[in-house]
Chain A
Amino acid sequence: MSAITRDEVAHLARLSRLALSDEELDHYATQLDVIIGSVARVSEVAAEDVPPSSHALPLTNVFRPDEVRPCLTPEQALSGAPAVEDQRFRVPRILGEEA
């Protein structure tokens, strides 16, 4: 029994706006299954006395004061943009025609 189904991979691909071919879906489903299985083994090793953790460092409350720092110029900010219009990032159509 695999840890992730091909349908779930297809769903994740759609959420990530990735167009995957049938071959790619098969390929990633197999790979992700191995990754999830490996992570699950780490969880098995963790005993009762090991609490779940999200951060490696025992730190809390790392804040910065509310002070304005220099920004990029718009030219710098947009220098890596594939397309620019009106000093804004131009992106392809987000949603198609309404159903």
Chain B
Amino acid sequence: MTTTTTLMPYDEALERYEPVLGLETHVELGTASKMFCGCATTFGAAPNTQVCPVCLALPGALPVANEKAIESTIRIGLALNCSIASWCRFARKNYFYPDMPKNYQISQYDEPLCTDGYLDVEVDGTVVRVGIERVHLEEDTGKSTHVGGATGRIHGADYSIVDYNRAGIPLVEIVTKPIEGADRLAPEVARAYVTELRELMRALGVSDVRMEEGSLRCDVNVSLMPRGSSEWGTRTETKNVNSLRSVERAVRHEIERQAAILSEGGRIVQETRHFHEDTGTTTSGRSKEEAQDYRYFPEPDLVPIAPDPAWVAELKAALPELPSVRRKRLQQEWGVSDLDMQAMHNADAIDLVEATVAAGAPPADARKWWMGELARRANEAAVPLSDLRITPDQVARVCALVASGALNDKLARQVLEGVLEGEGTPDEVVASRGLQIVNDEGELSRIIDEVLAANADAADKVRGGKIAAVGALVGGVMKASRGKADAARARELILEKLGVSA
């Protein structure tokens, strides 16, 4: 921790070296009960209130596998284009560490439930196929808090206290094949992969995939090889990278760090590293088991799993539309460009726009408000779009009010603001804030006369044929009506009054 890390600027690192990535993602399944016992899995429960003899490893207690968890894992495997094992077993991973009271974790070793698939991800308009090595099922561990010591970290702590609520929650591990050829886009590919995986899990409904709550966690493996070489370098594994942005940063940082070491003739140590959210850097961390000597063996307390091919076929047939397919379909239906679709994807706006369109809004209008005014407001408040206090139905209603001529865009923004501030539905906000376009021609005509009188110079210019000067007059009318005038109609009336044909 005392040595400073030398980095090589990213561009230079990429000129000299080619990165190879590997990603291991853990997804906590959203089952009601744990993997091997009937304990609840509610997040945030008081410590040790969701534990029983099985997940506390009390003598004589025996595990029984949760059928829903097996089913979810098979569905994940199918969605990732994997082969499903016709027969496989759980295995014991032995290690002595208090986060598992059994002193082993039930996992899968050489017989994973799903193998050899892929996930296509899109980066900068290019599709990158990420190979999937395996998908297996295991149980999550308990949560330790380290007490005493200078840093609250495990090293140097005086002692630790453990909550076993999380111990035994079904955990799916998804391991990619080595990702080669991503080249300088490696950080983006890593991020796009985790993003796509998260959406896939959501579409399957198997997990709430909340990275901030730890129900999706990512370990990032990075190695470098000199340009022109085909032999992979030594890799490091950066653990528990817990946001999409961090996935990208961790890859970038490891590339810059390893390149600096290699260029000075140094060697990369195969090790586990910790990612630091605040600085975007990684530091060396010893793994809890220095020798990776887990002494796996088949779990004797659980009988083998042999998924019936008919069941697997049924699950496959019932898979929902996958996110990438859905995005393609929506893009065609909405007639938007790749770039706009990507922007909506990045802003997590696709579901919202879809719901707004379903509520009757034209796609272009739905997209305009969600990606414009509402995205700006969400950004200001630093919340996701979906957390804004407005529903797709309400946005659709605002679109309808604009389409009918009852509101113009400026007034519509005020209506959205009112809804966001809890003043009620769009119609209620229109009524309470008095936000109606001035449709009364007499009223509009009176305002225009005032504006023309006050801006005689501009009016003369228009009369003299400088039609462009009409803009200032329309602006004056909008200002005088506090935005409630119909700008197009005002323009027509002004030109009419000045005897100019548009």
Binding site for B on A (CB under 8 A): 11, 15-17, 54-55, 57, 59-74, 77-78, 80, 85-99
A15 with B48: CB separation less than 8 A:
no
Could you tell me if B40 and A78 are in contact, using CB atoms closer than 8 angstroms? no
- Roughly how many angstroms separate A98 CA and B300 CA in the complex, as a whole number? 37
Q: Would you list 13 pairs from A and B whose C-beta atoms are within 8 A, ordered by A residue?
A: A15-B291, A54-B300, A65-B67, A66-B33, A66-B69, A68-B38, A71-B50, A77-B56, A88-B145, A91-B161, A94-B97, A94-B288, A96-B156
A64: min CB distance to chain B, Å = 4
* Contacting pair B156 A98 (CB below 8 A): yes
A63 touches B49 (CB 8 A): no
A85 to chain B: which residues have CB within 8 Å?
A: 147, 161
Q: Which residue of B lies closest to A64 (CB)?
A: B64
Bin the interface of chain B by size.
35 or more
Kindly provide the distance from the CB of B304 to the nearest chain A CB, expressed in whole angstroms. 5
A93 touches B161 (CB 8 A): no
Cα–Cα distance between A96 and B68 once the two chains are bound (Å): 41
Per-residue CB proximity of B17-58 to A under 8 Å, as 1/0? Answer: 000000000000001110001111000001111111100101
Whether B67 pairs with A66 at a CB distance below 8 angstroms is yes
Q: With A60-B304, A66-B31, A74-B48 in contact, is A91–B160 under 8 Å at CB?
A: yes
User: Is A61 touching B40 in the complex (CB atoms < 8 A)?
Assistant: no
Query: Which B residues are CB-close (under 8 A) to A54?
Result: 89, 297-298, 300
Contact assessment for B306 and A60 in the assembled complex, using a CB-CB cutoff below 8 Å: yes
* Any A CB within 8 A of the CB of B369: no
* A72 and B51 contact, Cβ closer than 8 Å, known pairs A16-B96, A64-B65: yes
Q: How far is the CA of A76 from the CA of B130 in the complex (A)?
A: 47
Measured CA separation A54–B87 after assembly (Å): 13
- CB of A20, distance to nearest CB on chain B (Å): 14
Contact present for B303 and A66 (CB under 8 Å):
no
Residues of A within 8 A of B64 (CB): 62-64
Tell whether, in the assembled complex, residue B66 and residue A93 are in contact, meaning their CB atoms are under 8 Å apart. no
Would B46 and A87 count as touching, CB distance under 8 A? yes
- Asked whether A61 lies within 8 Å of B305 as measured between CB atoms, the reply is yes
Chain A residues positioned under 8 Å from B89 (CB to CB): 54
Collect the chain B residues with CB atoms within 8 Å of residue A94's CB: 97-98, 144, 146, 154, 157, 160, 288
Q: Residue of B at shortest CB range from A54?
A: B298
Residues of B within 8 A of A97 (CB): 155-156
Assembly CA distance A59 to B154 (angstroms): 42
Q: From residue 439 to 453 of chain B, which have CB atoms closer than 8 A to chain A?
A: none
